[in-house]
Copies of this chain bind each other. A is one copy, B any other.
Amino acid sequence: MTLDATLSRIDADMPAALDRLMALLRIPSISTDPAYKAECDRAADWLVADLASFGIAAEKRPTPGHPMVVGHVPGDGPHVLFYGHYDVQPVDPLTLWDRDPFDPAIEETPRGRVIRGRGASDDKGQLMTFVEACRAWKEVNGTLPCRITFFFEGEEESGSPSLIPFLKENADELKADLALICDTGLFESRVPAIMTQLRGLLGEEITLTGPDKDLHSGMYGGAAINPIRVLAKILGNLHDVAGRIQVPGFYDGVPDLPEDIAQQWQALNFDHGTFLGGVGLSQPAGETDKTPLEMIWSRPTAEVNGIIGGYTGDGFKTVLPSKASAKVSFRLVGQQDPHAIRESFRAWVQAQLPEDVTAEFHGHGASPAGQMSTEHPAFEQARAVLGAEWGHDAAFTGCGGSIPVAGYFKTILNMDTMLVGWAKDDDQIHSPNEKYDVESFQKGIRSWARVLDAIT
């Protein structure tokens, strides 16, 4: 009865809920760009006011960067902490947007109504599905179904520099029985997915130097070493013909896929043709003996995310450059140790340098993979009720990306995290024309009502 009334209330309130989301989307809270600092602050204020509008006392909490928003609602039953982030990615190149990214609109498309604008999916729209579910629940029942802590971050898209200190300083306050994070998507845009395997991430920047200045290839070409060629050769050696990464010890700690998970994933009938076809590809390009789902969920990778050297402008310049550099990242799984791999990668590069070429390394982030424990009863409870909303049984899935906050909740607060979200594959997060389906928004709100009902 309580749930049905709440779901009805959610449906009836959709126009107002959409208006509220639009108001939040109009705030250009780009966290990585200092020019938008006041806007991040404004987004935090907006959230505090919105929680207050249905009787939840929250406050903006300062950090050396953008503020956190924290609110507590006492109650019986399990104590859950809900995390979302109110900051968004930059919008460049602006010319590829069909509208002002911060003047959002509901658009009718052949595949349904969408909310178009930066942050619609990542993560303002997703964050608001939980807030709206709580609002409806409270309006129908007068209270929330359990003890809830609201915790919103404003630096997720810029490396979360304040997150670890904030968690450490406020550990007693933030510790709950379980964290809920809404920053992931449906499997194949239709199957509700609880992500339990997350890859880690290691970033390395290499700069090779050969000659101490740029040279004329007519005068020196043939006798002087070219660092672009050396870098290309090394990066070309990163994978063998079977797609395996050649850095020594790289696969230490990479587990075989457990048989039960392998069967679950097999049952998902992943359509890699559609997945790759959506971006103009046809063939899975990873390890030749692995399935496409393994490639993106449970296998480690090495990628070159950027490369530059020599003359790259219009026309031609027969320069033999002094330097060439590349940004290389590794997605990590299981027990792979990012620090050990960083050292091994650097040694592996060094060992391939010919005479007269030196390498400088600059380390970027290093986070291990995360394996979510699913022991908390909420996991099975949630999985059991999500099917009713979406018409597909929910699945425990993997995720190719990294959600570092889930790892911090575990290591700093000793709290497990349930990752569930309603984004679709074509939401174009981090890209121009980001959108969130109105279906994701409405069913997402309803899903949270079902989950809150199930776990309490």
Residues of chain A at the chain B interface (Cβ within 8 Å): 32-33, 89-90, 92, 96, 158-159, 199, 201, 203, 205, 210-226, 228-229, 231-239, 272, 275-276, 279-287, 292, 295-296, 299, 301, 303-321, 324, 326-327, 329, 331, 354-356, 364-365, 399-402, 425, 428-432
Q: Say whether B223 contacts A296, CB under 8 Å.
A: yes
Q: Say whether A275 contacts B223, CB under 8 Å.
A: yes
Q: A223-B275, A304-B228, A310-B305 are in contact. Are A217 and B331 (CB under 8 A)?
A: yes
Give 25 pairs: A residue, B residue, CB < 8 Å, sorted on A.
A33-B315, A90-B311, A159-B316, A216-B429, A218-B402, A221-B329, A222-B299, A222-B301, A222-B400, A223-B272, A223-B284, A223-B295, A225-B281, A228-B306, A233-B236, A276-B356, A281-B356, A283-B354, A285-B354, A305-B316, A305-B317, A305-B320, A306-B310, A306-B317, A307-B309
Q: For A233, list chain B residues within 8 Å (CB).
A: 232, 235-236
A421 → B minimal CB distance (Å): 12
Q: A217-B331, A279-B211, A355-B282 are in contact. Are A310 and B307 (CB under 8 A)?
A: yes
A37 → B minimal CB distance (Å): 13
A351 → B minimal CB distance (Å): 15
Q: Say whether B201 contacts A318, CB under 8 Å.
A: yes
A363 → B minimal CB distance (Å): 10
Interface centre among A220, A221, A365 (most CB of B within 10 A): A221
Q: Say whether B319 contacts A305, CB under 8 Å.
A: yes
Complexed CA–CA distance, A103 and B433 (Å): 46
Complexed CA–CA distance, A56 and B385 (Å): 94
Which one of B216, B226, B306, B399 lies within 8 Å of A431 (CB-CB)? B216
Q: Which 6 A-B pairs have the closest CB atoms?
A: A218-B401, A212-B280, A236-B236, A306-B310, A233-B236, A232-B235
Q: A92-B313, A285-B224 are in contact. Are A215 and B319 (CB under 8 A)?
A: no
Q: Say whether A283 contacts B236, CB under 8 Å.
A: no
A282 → B minimal CB distance (Å): 6
Number of copies: 2
A157's nearest neighbour on chain B, judged by CB, is B317
A41 → B minimal CB distance (Å): 18
Complexed CA–CA distance, A356 and B281 (Å): 5
Q: Say whether B356 contacts A282, CB under 8 Å.
A: yes
A363's nearest neighbour on chain B, judged by CB, is B316
Interface centre among A281, A314, A401 (most CB of B within 10 A): A281
Q: For A309, list chain B residues within 8 Å (CB).
A: 304, 306-308
Q: For A311, list chain B residues within 8 Å (CB).
A: 90, 92, 305-306, 327
Q: For A234, list chain B residues within 8 Å (CB).
A: 236
Which one of B33, B92, B223, B292 lies within 8 Å of A292 (CB-CB)? B223
Q: Say whether A329 contacts B282, CB under 8 Å.
A: no
Which one of B216, B307, B317, B401 lies within 8 Å of A228 (CB-CB)? B307
Q: For A356, list chain B residues within 8 Å (CB).
A: 276, 280-283, 285
Q: For A276, list chain B residues within 8 Å (CB).
A: 223-224, 356
Q: Say whether A217 contacts B272, CB under 8 Å.
A: no
Complexed CA–CA distance, A233 and B307 (Å): 13
A218's nearest neighbour on chain B, judged by CB, is B401
Q: For A222, list chain B residues within 8 Å (CB).
A: 285-287, 295-296, 299, 301, 331, 400
A424 → B minimal CB distance (Å): 11
Which one of B219, B280, B284, B307 lies within 8 Å of A312 (CB-CB)? B307
Which one of B201, B211, B217 lies within 8 Å of A305 (CB-CB)? B217
A30's nearest neighbour on chain B, judged by CB, is B315
Complexed CA–CA distance, A315 and B203 (Å): 10
Q: Say whether B355 contacts A400, CB under 8 Å.
A: no
